[in-house]
Amino acid sequence: MAENIFTELYNRVLSLFGQSVQKEENTKDLACNRLRVVLMQDRTNLTPELLERMRKELVELLSKYVEMDKDALELNFEQEGEQMALMLSIPVVRAKNEEEIEAALKEADEKETDSSDEKSSDEKSDDDELQDSDESFEETSDETTDEDSEGEQSTEDEAEKSDEESASDEEVSQEDDEQSSKEQEVSTEEVKSSDKDSKKKNK
């Protein structure tokens, strides 16, 4: 009770000065987040649906190798001088050990060979869509086309291939302490740009 009276009194005093304390909570963060999303779209031509798809695919790919906090995954485009960089930041919950990684890879392989026949036609049409909307975005389209062709190859090849892919495409810096349950920030940076051109087009 007492504090209500105090708050009211305070508000009345403040309203004399033309201000009110009862504001929405932290509109600043809201503005920042909305801006980030809208700028990402402005800069790349990626629609929210495509971004969500890219996010999903990245999570799928990376979670084969590390256990991470999927909800905290942050995806941002940043301008670094002439180039545009895709910044990906994911808190790693725990590093997976070798067996787990192998098991995850195997599982993924099986899934793919199982469903490749049914899926391939669907996926292809999706890919076309993706490339149409943003040709410059090699990252996503590469990945999906890789998946496509992998489906037709033997399973052993696939495992090797995805290993190479991850090694070359992403630099995951990570501390040695494998089993630590502490969250580590792993940031991967993927720069793919002929993007200056695309930016010019956009503007």
Partner 1 sequence: MSGRVIVITSGKGGVGKTTTNANIGTALANAGNKVVMIDTDLGLRNLDLLLGLENRIVYTIVDVVEERCKLKQALVKDKKNPNLCLLAAAQTRDKTAVTEEQLKDICEKLKKDFDFILVDCPAGIEQGFQNAVAGASEAIVVTTPEMSAVRDADRIIGLLESKEEIKSYKLLLNRVRPNLIKSNDMMSVDDVVEILSAELIGIIPEDTGIITSTNKGEPVVNDEKSLAGKAYRNVAQRIMGNEVPFLNLEEETSVVKKVKKFFSNLIRKEK
The residue ranges that bind partner 1 (CB under 8 A) are: 2-3, 6-7, 10, 13-14, 17, 21, 23, 26-29, 31-32, 34-36, 38-39, 42-43, 78-80, 82, 196, 199-200, 202-203
Minimum distance, C-beta of residue 92 to partner 1, in the bound complex (Å): 23
Query: Which one, 14 or 167, has the nearer CB to partner 1?
Result: 14
Minimum distance, C-beta of residue 32 to partner 1, in the bound complex (Å): 5
Query: Which one, 35 or 167, has the nearer CB to partner 1?
Result: 35
Minimum distance, C-beta of residue 197 to partner 1, in the bound complex (Å): 9
Contact 65, 101 (CB under 8 A): yes
CA angle 12, 17, 23 (to 5 degrees): 65
Query: Which one, 82 or 132, has the nearer CB to partner 1?
Result: 82
The full 3-state SS of 96-108, as one line of letters, equals CCHHHHHHHHHHH
- Single-letter amino acid, residue 193: S
Query: Please, where are the H alpha helices in 134-202?
Result: 138-152, 155-169, 195-202
DSSP characters over 92-138: EEEEPPHHHHHHHHHHHHHHHHHHHHHHHHHHHHHHHHHHHH-TT-H
Query: Which one, 79 or 174, has the nearer CB to partner 1?
Result: 79
Contact 114, 85 (CB under 8 A): no
Minimum distance, C-beta of residue 200 to partner 1, in the bound complex (Å): 4
Query: Which one, 80 or 135, has the nearer CB to partner 1?
Result: 80
Contact 58, 76 (CB under 8 A): no
Contact 194, 136 (CB under 8 A): yes
Minimum distance, C-beta of residue 177 to partner 1, in the bound complex (Å): 30
Query: Which one, 180 or 202, has the nearer CB to partner 1?
Result: 202
Minimum distance, C-beta of residue 149 to partner 1, in the bound complex (Å): 35
